[in-house]
Structure 1
Amino acid sequence: MSRHGEPQNYERAIDLPTGRVAWAANMIPVRHGDGELREIVAMSRPIPVGLHASGIDERNQKLVDGLNTTNPGLIYLLDLPTRRATYVGGQVEQLLGFKPYQLEEMGDPVRDMVHPDDYGWVEQMFAEIGQSPDEVSIFECRVRDSTGSYRRLSCRNRVLDRTEDGAARSVIGVATDMTDQSHLRDEVAALNSLLSNAELEERRVIAQELHDSAGQYVVAAELALIGAQERSPELKRNPGVRRSLDDVMECLKDAEREIRVLSYLLHPPAIAKQGLVSVIRNFTMGFGGRAGIAVDVSVDTRVNSLPEELAIPLLRICQEALTNVHRHAKAKSVSVRLDVIRGKIELEICDDGIGFSQEGVTDHNGYGVGLSGMRDRVARLGGHLDIHSNGGTTLKVLIPLR
């Protein structure tokens, strides 16, 4: 009982041979007329052990210990106003080589631990977390270990507590080591780059063969036909023969135009020399001039800063889409738009052609073959491809920027 005589509540638990028991007691002081405390009225009742405060604390501690043992990464609580880690647990010692208390004693573990090149946007991510009431923010960054090397961690964060005015006070996060996966991604990207370069070289050879071999044969056939007509004037006097010869000449000119367009589509200019903006614009306009299709093209200048592992697939997708327009759409006009919007790359190609049935999107013939290749490229980049046909065809690609 307090010396001031206020009512008191107590909880106690003891271990008996038959098991643990707990009870709660309420103690109320009784004052006499002179104000002196002389008696206490006490009421006691048994309570479930699980509801006992010490039992709850014990359970919570076991829960924390279990998370520390089973979580493959590290758990942290970050106090945003002070920039301090108020709690660090999980496999932090195995992952980074630090004791939890070493991170908790750092003045600003984000600044001290995150790679300098990643620090700016990590801070931006924490600022955005404070503005998102219930969303879980996921991002990757490089974090220093005790040897001075950096490991790539995937961090999942959510606001745990807010001030009365709604400002984020603390963030709870779980970080998982992605270093090995990152190395695998780099290896896959390197293999994709080798594959893309090999494909580029193969396309270059095919384009050159089309232009220098098949194209020349078609031109030779046109010249031979013209020579035959000039040497045999009687052919022109026969209406049926003249129509047939005109049809042959028209077919040869169509074949020559087809070879010219396809060889250009197979081997566009090099990105490294001109930049993706110029390549997409010149390639699209060149396609329109050769194919006799009106072209409208809009390219965000920021795409020039994209790495090759993104730039080359984007060009390939544009190539394949325009090839499909040329072969199947019978379009009079096509528009190409490439933008960087809200951390995503958006590529949209629309034509006013004849369109196609939904079965054409999913089968493995004709249109479906090109789409399958485009879907594979987009999937490798973690993006999404959507295509629909309604009075023309619209292909839209969304790829997140890491």
Structure 2
Amino acid sequence: MKDFNFKIPQNVQFGMGSLKKLPEILKENNSNHVFLISDRVLESIGVVKKIQDIIEAAGIKLTTYLEVIPNPTIDVVDEAADLYKKCEATSIVALGGGSPLDVAKAVGVLAKFGGEITDYEGLNKVPGPIVPIIAIPTTAGTGSEVTASSVITDESRNYKFSIVSYETLPKYAILDPELIMTSPASIAASCGVDALIHAIEAYLSKQASPFSDAMAEKAMELIGKNLRKFVKDRTDKEAACGMMAGSNFAGISFAWARLGNVHAMSHPVSAFYHVPHGVANSVLLPTVMEFNAITDKGRYEKIYNYIVEKNKETKNFKSEMLIEELKKLNSDLGIPKSLSDLGVKEESIEDMAKDAMKSGNVLANPRETTLEDMIELYRKAM
């Protein structure tokens, strides 16, 4: 067994109705002025007001920023950071999916250390603890509340870059499954498969450890058992709890094991064509899993048994069975089959492949990957 390390630096509160713990957490953190980061969609369905009411009822001052967009840009980060500094808030509440949480981490960095957000691009460029963040995810998918990265789009480069530092981890996370029970079926599906991919890629990563494996396996068990049920009926409390916990465990697993080619490839797709992150990942998954199959040492069968509809041991397993099951899962959930279905054009493939190769996730992918391999993977996914 190779050497490995991990730490659990956060306070995570899980459970139906756990949102009521927010005032207690804010007071514990001496937060007398909260900066709430979210988006207009969550405002339109009343979730933002619910959080605002809880904070204000506790007698805590509040400033709100709601202009976060999918695949958030540097301009969004700069605008939010400027407002944070002007209002003199003392902590951040990040409400939403991966985009508000990514923006919150970036704002926390700029508010504490200044400069341009691109100054912190890459690994371990954040010099110390950032502004305290309380993360409240409203999707079961990103795991961003327990991951050490923030992904931001640089429109000048047509490129999604990552800030990777354990200093960006939110100080607290509130996982209230009630918040994901109003998600549209399409969001529940793409976010759910994204969470599954986090666990799968961490499980197959060259950097996997017994700790990350434990988190990934439990995540796959919970997501595999509940994903179809939750997409079919978002009012199913047991399925909602399973998806919320599974997404969280998947996030922990890849925070310590990294990801692979699926995520390396999906970021350029989102940057070039504004495709939602979870959808891009879901479409790319079967192609990448087929590419990686020659490196399998028994883990494909374990993954298959977690996600197959009738969860039972399979005789005479072959890797092709997992590939077909992943295609079936996407089909069952209404996810498009190919990149061309998402509007991706052949002429972008080489540029996307070059950007994908810049991702550190390629180094963790179980099969060594060249630029030529990456180009071919995109072509197959078309």
TM-score, scaled to structure 1: 0.19
Bigger proportion of residues as helix: 2
Mark the structure with the bigger radius of gyration: 1
Bigger proportion of residues as strand: 1
TM-score, scaled to structure 2: 0.20
